[in-house]
Structure 1
Amino acid sequence: MKPTFKKLFTISTLIYLLAGCGGGSSGGGDDSREQKTDNENPSASILFPSADGLWSDREILIVRGSATDNVGVENVLVNGIEADSDDGFKTWQVEIPLTAGETTGINVEVTDVNGNRNPEAAFLTVNAYDNFDSYRFCSPLAYDDDRNLAYTFNPVREISLEKMQERFISSSLTDVVGAKYDATTGNFLVIENDRLLLVDRDFNVVNSISETDDESLSFGKRPQISIDDSSGDIYVQNYWPSSLIKVDPATGEREKISEFQYVDGSSVGYLNQGLEIKGGRFFVLEEKALLELNPFTWAASEISGKNLGAGESFYSIKGLSVDLENNKAYVGDHHSRLFEIDLTTGDREVISSELDAGEENLSFDSARNGFLDVGPFILINSCLTGHTFSINKESGERSRLSRKIRGDGPLISVSDVPIFDQDNNRIIVLNDSYGDSDLFSDFDKIQQVISVDLQTGHRSILSGPNYGEGIIKGYFNNLAVDDRNGNIYATESVSNSIVKIDPNTGNRTIVSGVKIGVGENLMGSRALAVDSTQNRILTISGSSLIAVDIETGNRSVITDFTYMDMWHPQYISLNSNSSHVYIPDVHGTINKIDLNSQEITTVSSKDIGSGPSMNELGFMVFDELNNQIIIEDYNHTEGDDYPIDMELLAVDIETGDRSLLLNILQKDNEDMLLSPAVDSQSNRLYLVLPNKSIAIFDIATKQYLTISH
C-alpha cells in the first residue's frame, strides 16, 4: 500500500527536525561530545644494552626496555620479534639471535592501541665475538713464511704482517696447545688433546701423525714443536717434567729423552719453554741460560747465561728463536725484556724493555709458546695483555697486531679491584705494570691506575710509572674514591700506608703511615672505603677495623674482631649512609659491623641463609637498591685441582640467602677475576672478567656485555 500524503508530510517533517537539531544535540553543537583523533606516536627506550656498540660472547641476547604512549601500547617488536610484557609494556624484554663475528642492529618498533606505529622508536648495535669466543691470549703462534702470515689459535686467527690486519678463520680446532708451520710440506703441525695433527693451510685436519695413551709420553700443556731438517724427525718439548719427545713422522712412534746433564755430569734441572732445532743443532732454555744439547749424548753446554757472556742477567727466560745465518738468538724473560744473544761469545743485549711498551702497555711476563721469529720482528702472543704484538729487532719498538675490540688506550693486564667513580661517571681499576729497572731495583711491580669510559670503552692512565709524581715504589692492593671530590685512595703494602692519588695530575702522597698520623700502625692493610660523612677512611689492619682521619692521618680502632673466627678479611663495603660496614672472609662468611654501636653480626655463612655455598670470598660491593651484597666467590676448596669455577653471588643482607648471578669456568692460563663495581645512582653493575675486559652486568637477565677490551 502506498503511503498517504499525511504520512509523507509527517515523515518529512520528522527528518527535517532531526537534521536541524543535529540528531538530538543542542542547537549550539557541543564539541565536547565529539570523538577526538589520536595522532600521537608511542615511544620506547632500550634499558639493556645500555650503550651502543657493546660486545657479546653469547648467541642469544636478551634485550630489555620500556615503552610509553598517551593512550596505551599494543605491542613492541624488536627486529621483528614480539616482546613480552606483563605491565602493558611499561617494561618489556625479548630474545634476539646474534651472528658470530658480525654487528647486529637492534631496532625497536612500537604500535599503540589506536594503530599509531613508530617503526624506529629506538635503535643501537651489538657486536658478537668471532665464534662467540672472547678468549684471545696465551695460545701458540705459527708463521707461514711463504705468505708472510702469522696465526694464533683458540680460535684460529690470521694476521697479515704486510697489511697489519687480523681476521678470524673458521676451524674445528678448539684446544690447540702447540703449532708450527712446516715449510717442506706447506702444512701445519698442531697439537690438540695430546695428538700431533697434520693440518692444511685452511686449517682442516689432514690426518693424525701421533697419539698415545701412555702419559709418560705426553706432550704436556705448553709444548714446543721443532723439526730436525737433517732427519725429518719431529721433536716436542714438554717443559714439565723437562723432556723431549721424539716423533717418527712415518709411524707416529714416540721416544722420550730426559735427565739432561752438563758435560761435567751435573744436572741441568728443568727446562723452560723454548726449543729450536737449526742446522742439526738443538737449542733449549734453562731458567737463566741458553743451552745447546748434543743430539747423540744429550749433554748440555751453556751458550749464554750464568757462567758465560756479558750483559744483563736472564730472569726466567721463555720463548726462543735462533738465527744461524746472523749467529744470533733471541729470548724473552719474565720482565718483558727481549734479549739478543751472540752465539759465538754468549754476550747478551736487551734490545726491548718495559720502557718500549708504549701507551698501549704492550708487555709480557711469560712468552711461553707465543714467541715467534718473522725476520725483522719477534712476535709475542702476550698472556699479560691478551694481545699479539711485534718487537722490532733493530729499534725495540713494539706494535700491536691483533684487532682492537672496544676502546683505545692502554691494554689491561690484571685489574682485580674496580671501583665506580661517581664524580666522573667512570670505572677506575688497578693494573699490573713493571717499573723501569733504572728507577726501581729488582723490578718492583708497580700499579697503574686506569680509568675506563663507560660509553666509548676508551682507557687512560691516571697514575703509574711516568704518570704523576711522588711515592710509587710499592704495590697498591686496593682502591677507593671520594665521591665529594674524586680523590682516589690506595692501600700500599710495602710501606704499610694509605696513599692519595690526585685524579687530575696522578701525583701520589701518603695520607697515613708510619711517619704520618698517630695511632696503631697499619699492617697488611688491603680493605678500603671512604666514609665521607665523617671525612675518614676505613681499612682493616691485622684483626681490627681502623678509621683513618683524612686530614691528619691519625688512626683509631673502631672495633677489634680478634675473638671472632674471621680468616684473612681483605675487603670491606660501606652502605650509603655510613652506618654499617660489611666484611667477608676467605672461609665463606660475611659479617656486618654497626659503626655506631660496634656490634658485629653474621649476615650470611654456611649456617645462615640458603642457596649456593660460599667458599673463598673476594671483592664485593653493596647494592643499595636491592638491599644485597654482590660478591665474587672462588668456588673451590684448598687442594682442589684446577680449573677454578668462579661465581658471582647476590647475598640478601636481611635473610643471608644467596643466589647465583654468574659463574665462569677457568680456561688455561686465565687469571680468575669476577670483581664487581656498582653505580649507586643508576644501580648499574660492572664486572672485571677473566678475559681482561670490563663489562656491564644486567642483574635482571643475568647476562653481561663487554664495554672495554
Structure 2
Amino acid sequence: MNPQITKLASTLSLIGFLTACGGGGGGGGGNADNGGEAPLQPAAPLASIQFPTPQSLTNQTSVIVRGTAQDPDGSTITGVFVNGIEVQSDDGFATWQVTVPVRLGTNTLTVETEDATGNIDPAAASVDIRGHTLPLISGANENTMSVDTANNRALMVDNNHDAILAFDLASGERTVLASPRGLDNFINLEPVGSGEALDFSSQLNFDSDAQRALVLEPLNNTFTLRGIVEVDLNTGERSVFYNPNQGSGPQIDRIRSFVFDRANNRLLALDGFSRNLRLMEVNLANLERRVIRGFETVPSDALALNTDNQLLMTGEINQKTVLYSVNLSTGDRELISGMDTDNTLVGNGPEFENPASIKVDDNNRALMMDQVLKKIVLVNLDNGDRTILEGTGVDFIVPVGADFFGAQHAIVIDRDIESLIVVDLISGDRSLLTNNAIGTGVRFNRPHTLADLGDNRALVTDSTSGRLFEVDLTNGDRELVLDNPGELNLQAMALDKPNNRGFFINNTENDPKLVEFNLSTKALRVISSAAIGSGPTLIAPEDIAFSPVSNRVFVIDSEARSLLVIDITTGNRSIISDDSNSGPAFDFPLSFVINRSETTAFVGDEGALMAVDLATGDRTLVSGIDFTTGDQIGASGLFDITAMILDETNNRIFTGSEEAEFTIVDLTTGEQTAVPSDFSGLGFSTIKDLIIDTENQRAFVLDSSKRAIFALDLVTGSRVLVSWSDFNRF
C-alpha cells in the first residue's frame, strides 16, 4: 500500500494508487517457480510509465514521458528507450524521463529495456497518447456554418481564430481553409491564403458551384462599412466580393445578413438598424440596388432561399414569431408557419421563439435552430407543420446555427461548445462529432468537485446539469451515476467510503441542503436544510468535509464567512469559527482541509492560507497576507484557492485556484512553490478540485471552465487531458 495523504475537505482519501493500477502498463516479468525442474531464466528489466496516463490527449507535438525501471534479477540496467529514443536518468534508470515526438492521431509510447546480461524486453510498458488540434472552435456566431455535402464536411467561420475551418464529418478531423496565421502545432503551422482579413466575420454563405465561401466582414478596418469577402476554399485566398460603397441606388446602411442567389446573380440583404430595416436586392452585374420592402423589426436576421427561389425570413405577429416567405418581385409576404393576425395557427406543432438560422433542403423542409427553445425546429414548407426535435445526448447551450447533413441528420454549431454536434432528424438524438473527445459518455457541463473512489476511478459533481459522474481515470470514460437536471445543483462533495456513502451540497433555488447519497442504491436523503436541523442557515456553502473521527460534516460558507459543522444525525448546524473568533478574519473562504486527527482545519481565503483550531475556532496565518494586520508569511500569491489537498506525511498542502495557479505550501515555513511548468501542453483555466497520485507523482486536476480532467506531472509540469468532451474556451 502506498503512503496515504488525506483530504477531508472533500473526503478524498488520497491513498496512493496501487502499483498494479498506477502508471502505464508494465511488461517483462520474472519466472514462476518451476519446482526445480529446469534452471530459471534471467528476465529483462521491468518498466512502468508514470506519465502520461494510460490514455490521454495533447495538442503538443511532443510529450515528456517519465517512468521507473528495475531488474528482477538485480542485473545492471544498461538501457531504457521509449519509441527508440534513449531516456535520461541519474540513478541507474530507477527513475527516468525522455521527450518523445507526438504526431496527429493516436501514438503508442512503448518502453524497451535492456540489462547487462543481454536480456531485452521490447515492450516492457506502453501507453497511448492522441495528438489533437486544439482549440477546435472558439468563436462561433449566428449563421456561420454550412454543410458541404459533396465533400462530406462542415464549413464554418471562426471569429477568434480569424479563419475558415472545415470539419470532416466522417473522421472529425479539422482542416484550416483560410487563416492569416498558423492555428496548431500539427498540420496547420502556417497561414493559409492571403488577402482580406477575417477579423470580425459573420454570416457564411457557401457557394458550392464555385467552391467558395462568402462572409460578412468589416472592410477597410472599420466597423461602419460591412461588405462581403469571397474566400477561395481551395487556396484560402481572400478578396472583396461586394463593397456597399460601390454601385447605385438606395444607400446600404449596415448589412445584417445576406444570401447569395446564384441563379439570378444577386445578393439579398437585410440592411439597417432596429425600427428601420430593409430587405434589399443588389444586382451583381451592375451593382444596382433596390429596396424590396421595409420592416420595423424582425425577430432574427436569419434568411434563406426556398426551392421556389422565394426568400424565407422570420417575422412577428401579435408578439409571436412566425415564418414568412417574401415575393422578391413585389415584396409581398406570405405566412408559411405560425400564428396569423386573426389568431389562426398556420401549421401544427409548437410555436417558434427565436430562430437563429434557417436552412432549406430539397424535400421542402426548413431547418431552424431556435436559441430560446434550444431546440431544432423542422418546418414542412408545404403545410407549415412544425416539429421540435427532442431526443437525448449533448445538451445545447448557446446554439447559433444548424444545417442539413443529408435527409436524416443535421449539424449544429454552439457558441459554448467547441465541437460540432450531429443530430439525428428522426430521433432527435445528439452527439459530438467523432474523435473530438477523450473518454466516452455524456459530456461535462460545469463540473464542480472531484472525489477519489480508488482503483483509478473518481466521482465528479456537475453543478448546472444536476449530474453525478463516475470517471475511469485510465481512459477518461464517463458514466452517469445520477441524472436529475432541474432537481439537483450538485456542488461540494465528500465521501465516506467505509460506509459506502457520499455527501454533497444541493443548491437548487438558492436553498442549500446537505444531502446524503448511498453509493450502491443511489438513494438520496436530505440531512440538513433550512427546514431540517437547527442553527445558522447555510447561505453560500463552498466546500465540505466528512470526518470519520466525529462522524460529522464540516462546511465553509463564503458569504457567512464562517466554518460550520453539521451533525448528520439531527441536521443541526453550529459555528466553529467566524468573526467572533481571534486571528485573521475570513474574507471570502472557498476551500479547506482537515487533518486526520480532526484538530485543525486549513482554510484558503483571499490572499491567505490560515489554520483554524477546531477546539477554539481561533485562526492563525500559515501563508500569504493577513490584510487586517499586514503580516505576511511566504509569498502573497494565494488568491481564490478553490482546491486543497493535505499531505500530512510531508507537512504540505497542494492548492489550486480559480486563476489556474497550482501551488504547494510548506506548512512549517509558509513558503509557496509553484508546480513546475514546461510551458507546453494544455493550460488550466479554472481549477476546481484535485486528486494527488503520490505513487506516480502526478495530480488529476478538475477544470470547470474547460470541462475536463487533466493529468499534471508534478515532476516536469507537463499536462495532458484525461477526460474531456469539449472546451468552453481554450
Structure 1 and Structure 2 fold alike (TM over 0.5):
yes
Q: Which residue of 1 aligns with 2:409?
A: 377
CA distance in 2, matches of 1:250, 1:664: 51
Work out whether residues 612 and 659 of structure 1, in 8 Å CA contact, stay in contact via their aligned partners in 2: no
In structure 2, what residue type is equivalent to 1:704?
A: R
- Give the 3-state SS of the residue equivalent to 1:110 in structure 2: strand
Q: Which amino acid in the other structure matches residue 508 of structure 1?
A: L
The verdict on how the C-alpha distance between 1:598 and 1:317 changes in structure 2, with shifts beyond 3 A counting, is: farther
Q: Distance in 2 between matches of 1:238 and 1:672?
A: 39
1:110/1:117 contact within 8 Å kept:
yes
SS of aligned partner of 2:400: coil
CA spacing shift, 1:559–1:691, aligned 2, 3 Å: closer
* Alignment correspondent of 2:608: 589
- 2:187 matched to 1:183? no
Question: How many angstroms apart in 1 are the aligned matches of 2:103 and 2:596?
Answer: 42
Give the aligned partner of residue 442 of structure 2. Answer: 410
**Superposed CA offset, 1:24-61 (max 9, x none):** xxxxxxxxxxxxx9984552423432543322222221
Could you tell me whether the CA contact under 8 Å between 2:681 and 2:718 is conserved in 1? no
**Is 1:456 aligned with 2:480?**
no
- 2:172·2:435 contact (CA, 8 Å) conserved in 1? yes
Structure 2 residue matching 1:108: 3-state secondary structure: strand
**1:228 Cα deviation after fit:** 4.1
Deviation at 1:702, TM superposition (A): 0.7
Determine the C-alpha separation between the residues in 1 that align with 2:607 and 2:218.
36
Give the corresponding residue for 1:531.
547
Deviation larger for 512-521 or 317-326: 317-326
Counterpart pick for 2:594 among 574, 589, 600: 574
Q: Which residue of 1 aligns with 2:575?
A: 557
Q: Distance in 1 between matches of 2:135 and 2:358?
A: 28
1:289 aligned onto 2:289: no
1-side partners of 2:644 and 2:585: how far apart? 20
Offset at 1:410? Answer: 1.6
CA shift at 1:479, angstroms?
Answer: 1.8
Q: If the length of structure 2 is used for normalisation, what is the TM-score?
A: 0.71
- Computing the radius of gyration from Cα coordinates, the structure with the larger value is 1
- Find the residue that maps to 2:587 and give its secondary structure: coil
Would the aligned equivalents of 1:143 and 1:151 in 2 still touch at CA under 8 Å? yes
Higher deviation after alignment, 556-565 or 546-555: 556-565
User: Structure 2 vs 1, CA of residues 325 and 60 (structure 1 numbering), >3 Å: closer, same or farther?
Assistant: closer
Matches within 5 A, 1:173-572: 173=179, 179-189=204-214, 198-202=230-234, 204-209=235-240, 226-229=259-262, 230-233=264-267, 263=296, 274-278=302-306, 279=309, 281=311, 283=313, 289=321, 304=338, 309=345, 312=350, 317-322=355-360, 326=364, 328-334=366-372, 336-341=374-379, 348-349=386-387, 351-353=388-390, 356-357=391-392, 361-369=393-401, 374-382=406-414, 386-403=418-435, 405-422=437-454, 425-431=456-462, 446-465=465-484, 473-493=487-507, 494=509, 495-541=511-557, 542-561=560-579, 565-572=585-592
Distance 2:419 2:410 in 1: 14
Matched letter for residue 637 of structure 2: S
Question: Counterpart in 2 of 1:678?
Answer: 691
Query: Which region of structure 1 is more displaced relative to structure 2, 188-197 or 686-695?
Result: 188-197
Tell me how far 1:463 sits from its aligned partner.
Answer: 0.8
What SS is found at the alignment partner of 2:700? strand
Over the residues paired in the alignment, what is the CA RMSD in angstroms?
4.8
Residues 454 and 344 of structure 1: CA distance in aligned 2, closer, same or farther (over 3 Å) = same
Partner AA of 1:233 in structure 2 = L
Deviation at 1:547, TM superposition (A): 0.8
| 1:555-596 per-position Cα deviation (integer Å, ceiling 9, x unaligned) | 2211113686533333333344433323334x4333332223
Cα distance in 2, alignment partners of residues 396 and 463 from structure 1: 22
CA distance in 1, matches of 2:270, 2:534: 61
- Relative contact order: is structure 1 or structure 2 higher (C-alpha 8 Å, sep ≥ 6)? 2
Offset at 1:499?
A: 1.0
Alpha carbons of structure 1 residues 130 and 665: separation in structure 2 relative to 1, 3 Å: closer
- Secondary structure of 1:169's partner? strand
Tell me the amino acid that sits aligned with residue 338 of structure 1.
Answer: I
Percent of aligned positions that are identical? 19
Separation in 2 of the partners of 1:549 and 1:135?
48
| Residues 615 and 244 of structure 1, relative CA distance in 2, 3 Å threshold | farther
What residue number does 2:59 align with? 57
Distance in 2, Cα, partners of 1:603 & 1:337? 51
Question: Structure 1 counterpart of 2:645, which letter?
Answer: V
1:219, 1:228 → 2: CA distance? 19
Q: 1:688 aligns to what? A: 702
CA gap of 1:156–1:691, structure 2 versus 1, over 3 A, is farther
Contact 2:496–2:546 (CA under 8 A) maintained in structure 1 = yes
Confirm or deny: 8 A CA contact 1:362 1:398 kept in the other structure. yes
Amino acid corresponding to residue 87 of structure 1 in structure 2: D
Indicate which of 594, 598, 607 corresponds to 2:617: 598
Unaligned ranges ≥5, structure 1:
1-36, 433-444, 467-471, 636-645
| Residue 166, structure 1, aligned to residue 166, structure 2 | no
Q: Quote the Cα distance in structure 1 between the aligned partners of 2:232 and 2:467.
A: 43
> Once the 2 structures are TM-superposed, how far is the Cα of residue 651 of structure 1 from its aligned partner?
3.5
What's the offset of the Cα at 1:299? 12
Pairs within 5 Å for 1:17-166: 40-41=42-43, 43-49=45-51, 51-69=53-71, 70-111=74-115, 114-120=116-122, 122-131=124-133, 133=134, 135=136, 139=140, 140-151=144-155, 156-160=165-169, 164-166=170-172
| SS at 1:411 equivalent | coil
Gaps of 5+ in 2: 1-38, 184-197, 222-227, 246-251, 626-630, 725-730
1:345/1:170 Cα in 2 relative to 1: closer, same or farther (>3 Å)? closer
- Secondary structure of the corresponding residue to residue 146 of structure 1: helix
Aligned to 1:708: 723
Deviation, 1:536, is 1.0
SS at match of 1:484: helix
Q: Distance in 1 between the 2:330 and 2:663 partners?
A: 57
Residue 498 of structure 1 and its aligned partner are, at CA, apart by 0.6
Aligned residues between the structures: 616
Q: Are the counterparts in 1 of residues 63 and 102 from structure 2 also a CA contact under 8 Å? A: yes
Residue 3 of structure 1 is matched in structure 2 by none
Q: CA offset at residue 188 of structure 1?
A: 2.9
Deviation, structure 1 residue 602:
2.8
- For the residues of structure 2 that align with 1:517 and 1:573, how far apart are their CA atoms? 24
Q: Within the alignment, does 1:608 sit opposite 2:632 as a pair?
A: yes
Q: Is the 8 A contact 1:44 1:108 kept in 2?
A: no
- Tell me if structure 2 keeps the 8 A contact 1:381–1:388: yes
Give the residue type in structure 2 aligned to 1:321: K
**Does structure 1 retain, via aligned residues, the 8 Å contact 2:495–2:503?**
yes
Contact in 1 for aligned 2:366/2:380 (Cα 8 Å)? yes
Distance 1:385 1:285, change over 3 A: farther
Amino acid at match of 1:185: A
TM-score, with length taken from structure 1: 0.72
